[in-house]
A and B are shown apart, each in its own frame.
Chain A
Amino acid sequence: MSRLRGVLTFVVVMLGGDAMPWGARGVAAEPTRAEEAAFLAAVSQVAAAVVRLEPVAGAAVAGAAGEEAGVASGPSTGLVIDPAGLVLATSFAVPDTAREAVVVLPDGRRVAAKPVGRDVPRGIVLLKTEPIPTAPPVEPALRRSLLPGQWTIAVGRGWSAAEPSVAVGILSAVDRGWGLAVQTDAAVSPMNYGGPLIDIAGRVIGIVAPLPAEPAQMMRGTELYDAGIGFAVPLEDLLAVLPRLAAGESLAGGILGIGYRSRDAINGDPVIASVRQGSPAARAGLRPGDRIVAVDGRPVRRVADARHAVAPRHAGDEIAVEVDRRRGGETIRIAARPTLAATLPPWRRAILGVVVAAGDERDADAPARIDWVLPGGPADRAGIAAGGIVASIAPLGDAQPADTQPGADAVEAPSSSALAGVVAGLEPGQSVRIGVRRGDEFTTTDMTLGEMIQDAPDEPPPPRAAAVPGGGADAVRVSRLGGADVTLPPLVVIPPGRGPVPVLIWFGVPHGAADEAEAAPWKAAAAAAGVAVILPGSRERREWSGDDIGGVARALESLNALRPVDATRVAVGGRGPGGVFAWLLAERLGTGCRGVAVLDAPLPARFTIADAEPGTAKWMLLGGGGDDAAARRRATDRDRLARAGHAVGTLTEAADGGPPTALLCRWAAALGLL
């Protein structure tokens, strides 16, 4: 019955029921036809400027390997930007390794083209080929006129050199990849990368491309072609750099060289925590503590605003940065004009020669207290003693703006992490004015930062337990970490006292669960240096295995529940197979591990050493016996680590052949050396 009713309704519609919901008459049809005509008219405006690009075999990594590397293995598209023979295409179709490309002109002729310039962050290449007088001039759609929801049409010739392909969609977003691209839901694929994305009037919005990203991630976005997600690099941005590309320049992304105090990379306050030494920011006089208020005239209220303003710029571009700086109780506005760089010079670790108390959660912002001064170090030579509070620190010297008094731009009452940020931006040999408060007494000292030391200091920084009566080996606790569900609870040696504690994880000879006797040689050393020592058990009887890594991570968590862990002083170490395992664990822990100490354990094959940067730089100790070959191997490892900018010292066996517990604990306690 219901079907019959439906049929009757249908008949009514057929007989001219305009008011019926199906709308049989052309109310909705007319816009549809008008749009179809408009799509075709828009395409016809640019079609003669769209050319086919064919891969040149041998120029790129071919086949499946090429697809993995993010380079095209099939035909693609280009846009003639100048009839004199300039064609825009993507680095996906014409990778860095390609010396030439083949362009198929609309008349079917094949001509060779040479890459002349690149916009590296946008993944766009400019090709030069013979004049293409038939190509019409292209008109860019202005970025500020773009609105999500408007029609977009992707035009390509990857399918056919004779006829352009058409994909219709809307603009999905105007800001992608930190402002490098716009997004569309028109179906785009590697076949029309390099072709124009046009608006309904035939103006070119941009060049269809994978989502711009680091060169290593050039593939990012190419797998999205059938997911309704496509990207285009705005033509307006490319026209701005076209003369430089045509002149043969390869434009790299621009680096400023600052870190922010906030961990929130979006809504955080744009207050500079660190200025990388030798960076454009450092050369322009930006300082830790400065609050960025504008970049290139665009107001900056949060970290994301600054990133949006800097990300689209290239190395070599000068940008205008305005910052607010506290000086003498007032806030002043300072204008800096850094010139962005493509790369930064290798970081050289400079030290004051002090260890400051790591703030725990309660007093993370408390001013840094000098716990210990490295004997013979820069601070010691300048007469700074332990026990004071760092009241101010100000760099002196060349980078000082000419209109200020020496030491005027001080960071006041820095926390331990803020002090680390300031020191990370300074180079060995650079001078600072440091103010230290000790009770009511305030002294100002000028000192010069020194090179990072390589070997462990001869005496340890004092443990936090120093003030606890009855400290010493007897007050050390030995516990097993983890609950009943942990099959191999590691042993942990915990020094007396409270507050954040440095941690050393030591892998000895694997033999199953760690036994209490192993803990004995560590007790005195742990108490003297105030270091917690974790002695994991091995799941396998005779070797350390990947299963043991998870146990270590859980052990750190369990220890943190008993006693807070000082994240800036976590070290791993071991002997023989345990040492090799320590290298792997250090790689896994990443920035969570600041030191590696091994005996008779060469760097594992294919071990990747990241270049030292503030926050990631490690302090290594290498040692052991063996024949000449082993010693040569150690020397090679030492060179590799030192070249990457890490501190590398020597680890000497204890007299009884056991692990050098005192040396290791001294070193672990000094890992936070500033």
Chain B
Amino acid sequence: MIRFREAVIVALLAVRIGNAADEPSPQFVAATAARSVVKIYGAGGLRGLEAYQSGIILSPDGRIATAMSTVLDSEGIDCVLDDGRRFEATLVGVDPRRELAVLSIDATDLPAAVPAEGRAAAGTRVLAVSNLFGVAVGDERASVQRGVIATVVPLEARRGAADAPYTGTVYVFDFTTNNPGSPGGAVVDSRGRLLGMIGKELRSSAGGIWLNYALPIDEVLAGCEAIVAGGGTTATAAAAPPFDLKLLGIVFVPDLLDRTPPFVEAVLPGSAATRAGLASDDLLIAVGGRAVGSRAAVERAVGAIPAGDPVRLSVIRAGTVVDCDLGPRPAAVDRIAPQESVP
């Protein structure tokens, strides 16, 4: 009986939310969003890892999106709905690139989230709803926070020393969304439409700061559809290997430090670098318009350019920025012969 009433409410909600001329209040939006968020309890507790996180109900028949994590490495995954009901969930599959997982629970008429269409812009007011720090105990409702979208950018982040596998666009927020327990939580706009799913804790590899971000809903839905259709995992795209710049005729100063500045030590005669006008003592600052802070970053950035595509480098020389076009990137060879001497 209760389930029936809830189904009615969800239907009514959808009507109201769809009516743009009549804006719902923030309190109403918060309550609505929280109904689609579940608390997930699983494995963990080792090495300080949490044994809980969040999830979003995507369909009335029990499909739940959440973050792929060690919490799911468990025989029994428990989902606690907003109304306090507890279900054992089965793991349908994972998307390692998006670090996304789909769970299924045996229920019907659930209050599924209403996805937003298109992407929101910086400055948009949002609410985040999640099981942060596990403070919502028993049948208590998930926590609601407010803020704005700080920016919409490609994710450049690392977890420990490893780069994050997902490099697509994310929403970055101006408030602390990514707490322990938050991954898998919902971020909604001021009309209650689901903008994205809170991701796992990551540090920006550009600025070194902790990130507060969410995977946009179109990525979440695409990932979930693929998981459900394939029923399994998708392979992680292998990172391109670093490219040896000697193949373009650039010899760097020896790479002694973690972040050796990419000063050009010498330019090989007759090479693409010579033709492009590079000279020794030039300091590389960007590859294809993206800033590079070290020799290793240069090698990774050139490695990510497909063979045959143009290589454009920016250098700083005598206080001026000079752009150099080195022509198409040659195919990498497995290894430079170690005996090769440096001129």
Chain B, range 95-152, C-beta contacts under 8 Å to A: 121-125, 147-152
Q: Which of B40-48, B55-63, B201-209, B228-236 contacts A (4 or more CB under 8 A)?
A: B201-209
Q: Are A75 and B125 in contact (CB under 8 A)?
A: no
Whether, in the assembled complex, A609 has its beta carbon less than 8 Å from a beta carbon of chain B, the answer is no
- Are A40 and B123 in contact, with the CB atoms below 8 A? yes
Kindly list chain A residues whose C-beta atoms are within 8 Å of the C-beta of B2: 3-4, 7
Q: Which residue of B lies closest to A31 (CB)?
A: B26
Interface string of B197-227 (1 = CB under 8 A from A): 0000000101111101000000000000000
Taken together as a complex, chains A and B put the C-alpha atoms of A62 and B283 apart, in Å, by: 14
Q: How far is the CB of A571 from chain B (nearest CB, A)?
A: 47
Contact B207 A158 (CB under 8 A): yes
- On chain A, the residues within 8 Å of B147 by CB distance are 168, 187
- Shortest A103–chain B CB gap in Å is 9
B328 within 8 A of A: no
CA distance A24 to B28 in the complex (A): 6
Task: Please tell me if A289 contacts chain B, counting CB pairs below 8 Å.
Answer: no
B8 interface residue (CB < 8 Å to A): yes
In the complex, the answer to whether B25 meets A25 with C-beta atoms within 8 Å is yes
Count A-B contacts at CB 8 Å. Answer: 181
Q: In the complex, A64 Cα to B292 Cα: how many Å? A: 16
Within 8 A of A (CB), among B11-35: 12-13, 16, 22-28, 31
Q: Cβ of A10 < 8 Å from any Cβ of B?
A: yes
Binds B, one of A51-59, A170-178, A334-342: A51-59
B28 close to A163 (CB less than 8 A):
no
Asked if residues B209 and A165 are in contact (CB atoms below 8 Å), the reply is: no
Encode B284-326 as 1/0 by CB contact (under 8 A) with A.
Answer: 0110010111100000000000000000001010011101000
Known: A30-B23, A36-B123, A165-B150. 13 other contacts (CB 8 A): A3-B83, A14-B13, A22-B28, A26-B24, A33-B190, A56-B285, A57-B293, A62-B258, A160-B153, A166-B174, A167-B150, A167-B174, A189-B207
- Does any Cβ of A come within 8 Å of B255's Cβ? no
Among B5, B172, B262, B285, contact of A11 (Cβ-Cβ < 8 Å): B5
Docked Cα-Cα span, A209 to B219, in Å, equals 35
B173-196, CB < 8 A from A: 173-176, 190
- The smallest beta-carbon distance between A412 and chain B, in angstroms, is 59
Contact call B285/A74, Cβ cutoff below 8 A: no
The answer, yes or no, to whether A430 is at the interface (CB within 8 Å) is no
Looking across the interface, which residue of chain B has its beta carbon closest to that of A41?
B123
Q: How many residues does chain B have at the interface if contact means C-beta atoms less than 8 Å apart?
A: 62
Query: Would B172 and A23 count as touching, CB distance under 8 A?
Result: no
Q: Which of A106-114, A315-323, A468-476, A573-581 binds B?
A: A106-114
Contact of B258 among A30, A63, A165 (CB under 8 A): A63
Q: Evaluate contact between A187 and B125: CB separation under 8 angstroms.
A: no
Contact with B along A49-81 (1 / 0, CB 8 A): 000001111100011100100000111000000
A597 at interface, CB cutoff 8 A? no
Q: Which 10 A-B pairs have the closest CB atoms?
A: A58-B261, A167-B174, A57-B261, A29-B23, A165-B151, A74-B207, A62-B259, A26-B23, A28-B25, A63-B259
- Residues in chain A near residue B172, CB distance under 8 A: 159, 165
* Chain A residues in 8 Å Cβ range of B13: 14
B6 within 8 A of partner (CB): yes
Kindly list chain A residues whose C-beta atoms are within 8 Å of the C-beta of B8. Answer: 11
A111 to B285, CA, bound (A): 11
Nearest CB in chain B to that of A6: its residue:
B83
Can you list 21 A-B contacts with CB-CB less than 8 angstroms, sorted by A residue number?
A14-B9, A23-B25, A32-B26, A32-B190, A54-B285, A57-B259, A57-B294, A58-B263, A62-B259, A74-B204, A74-B293, A75-B291, A100-B316, A102-B291, A102-B316, A112-B320, A112-B321, A159-B206, A186-B174, A191-B209, A226-B176
Please name all residues of chain B whose beta carbon is closer than 8 Å to the beta carbon of A160 when the two chains form the complex.
151, 153
Is there a chain A Cβ closer than 8 Å to B257's Cβ? yes
B174 and A54 within 8 A (CB): no
* Bound complex: CA A62 to CA B294 (Å): 9
Known contacts being A26-B22, A62-B259, A191-B204, is A114 close to B151, with CB within 8 Å? Answer: no
Q: How far, in Å, is A62 (CB) from chain B's closest CB? A: 4
| Residues of the B chain whose Cβ atoms lie less than 8 Å from the Cβ of A73 | 208, 259, 293
Whether the pair B122, A163 counts as a contact (CB closer than 8 A) is yes
Distance (whole angstroms) from the CB of A20 to the closest CB of chain B: 10
Is A164 engaged at the interface, CB distance under 8 Å to the other chain? yes
Task: Let me know if A102 and B150 touch, CB within 8 A.
Answer: no
Residues on the A chain within 8 Å of B190, using CB: 29, 32-33, 36
Q: Which of chain A's residues have a CB closer than 8 A to the CB of B9?
A: 7, 10-11, 14
Chain B contact residues, CB within 8 Å of chain A: 2, 5-6, 8-9, 12-13, 16, 22-28, 31, 83, 121-125, 147-153, 172-176, 190, 204, 206-210, 212, 257-259, 261-263, 283, 285-286, 289, 291-294, 314, 316, 319-321, 323
Q: Which residues of B contact A168 (CB under 8 A)?
A: 123, 147-148, 174
- Evaluate whether A22 and B27 lie within 8 angstroms (CB atoms) in the complex, with A14-B9, A73-B208, A167-B150 already known: yes
A166 & B321 in contact (Cβ 8 Å cutoff): no
Q: Is the CB of A74 within 8 A of B206?
A: yes
Report yes or no: A62 in contact with B319, Cβ–Cβ below 8 A. no
A166 contacts B123, C-beta separation under 8 Å: yes
Min C-beta distance of B260 to chain A, whole Å: 8
Q: Does A300 contact B (CB under 8 A)?
A: no
Question: Are A102 and B321 interface neighbours, CB within 8 A?
Answer: yes
Taking the closest CB of chain B, its distance from the CB of A301, in whole angstroms, is: 40
**Inside 8 A of A3's CB, which chain B residues have their CB?**
2, 83
A288 to B293, CA, bound (A): 55
Is A19 part of the binding interface, using a Cβ–Cβ cutoff of 8 Å? Answer: no
The reply to whether A57 and B151 contact each other, CB–CB distance below 8 Å, is: no
Distance of A189 Cα from B207 Cα, bound (Å): 9
User: Chain B residues near A165 (CB, 8 Å)?
Assistant: 122, 150-151, 172, 174
Contacts of B294 in A (CB 8 A): 57, 62
Contact A35 B25 (CB under 8 A): no
Q: Is A43 an interface residue (CB 8 A)?
A: yes
Which of B31, B151, B204, B209 has most A Cβ within 10 Å? B151
Q: Which of B121, B263, B291, B294 is most buried by chain A, counting CB atoms within 10 A of its CB?
A: B291
